[in-house]
Amino acid sequence: MKAHTKETQATMTPQKAIQFLKEGNQRFQSNLKANRNLLEQVNDTSEGQFPFATILSCIDSRVSAELVFDQGLGDIFSVRIAGNFVNEDILGSMEFASKLAGTKLIVVLGHTSCGAIKGACDDAKLGNLTTMLAKIKPAVEAISEPQDKSLRNSKNLEFVDNVAKKNVALTIENIRQQSPVLKEMEDNNEIKIVGAMYDINTGAVSFFE
């Protein structure tokens, strides 16, 4: 499989980009990698890059976007931060990726049993981590069940995963509200902004469309 070129990127649509990622995740789950020569792709991309998607995911060592979607060099922009939320710098990176570099899709990828989500659920305090987890707290507060405080913590994995899904949805809302550039591109059907969840038990990615 060759690296993407200006021509292949130009033929890409938001829906086609989603399909590419879905097919890649199916290959990953089946342990059937696309036939690609990474060193050849180093050469192919040495004078330019033409990725088709931008993926915001967690720093979790089990959730490498390139691996779980079976993508090669030059295929995707990968933004990683614990809890997959956005701030000014991440939004600026996304605007570069979409408006200037031509990606057609933004995916906010959460995952099951997320440590950052667990930390927010437990109201963990530790240096700069405290400030970071505060950005995830709105997702914790948005999940009303269970009401019993003794069940609203990291030991309740169903609660943790529900918070993770809500965090993906709120992150997408924040992208649209805080980036007029990306909101306009989505309104014009130039890009699509979607959420997804990665299951650490199966390797499967479920898209929220």
Residue 146 in domain? no
Percent of the chain with pLDDT over 90: 83
CATH code, domain carrying 89 = 3.40.1050.10
* Domain count for the chain: 1
Span 9-31, pLDDT tens digits: 888 899 999 999 999 999 999 99
Residue 161 in domain? no
Residue 188 in domain? yes
> What per-residue confidence (pLDDT) applies to 71?
95
Residue 120 in domain? no
Q: How far is residue 49's CA from residue 73's CA, in Å, rounded to a whole number?
A: 9
Residue 153 in domain? no
Residue 106 in domain? yes
Span 124-146, pLDDT tens digits: 999 999 999 999 999 999 999 99
Residue 65 in domain? yes
Q: Please enumerate, as own/partner, the contacts of 21-25 that have beta carbons within 8 Å and a separation of 24 or more.
A: 21/53, 21/69, 21/71, 21/105, 21/107, 21/205, 22/205, 22/207, 24/68, 24/69, 24/70, 24/71, 25/68, 25/69, 25/70, 25/203, 25/204, 25/205
Q: How far is residue 194's CA from residue 209's CA, in Å, rounded to a whole number?
A: 6
Residues annotated within the binding site for Zn(2+) are: 58, 60, 111, 114
Q: How far is residue 98's CA from residue 94's CA, in Å, rounded to a whole number?
A: 6
Residue 193: give the domain boundaries.
Answer: 6-114+168-208
Residues annotated within the binding site are: 58, 60, 111, 114
Span 77-94, pLDDT tens digits: 999 999 999 999 999 999
Q: How far is residue 194's CA from residue 187's CA, in Å, rounded to a whole number?
A: 13
- pTM, two decimals, is 0.93
Nearest residue to 53 (alpha-carbon basis) of 2, 9, 110: 9
- Mean per-residue pLDDT over the chain, rounded: 94
Residue 83 in domain? yes
Q: How far is residue 117's CA from residue 121's CA, in Å, rounded to a whole number?
A: 6
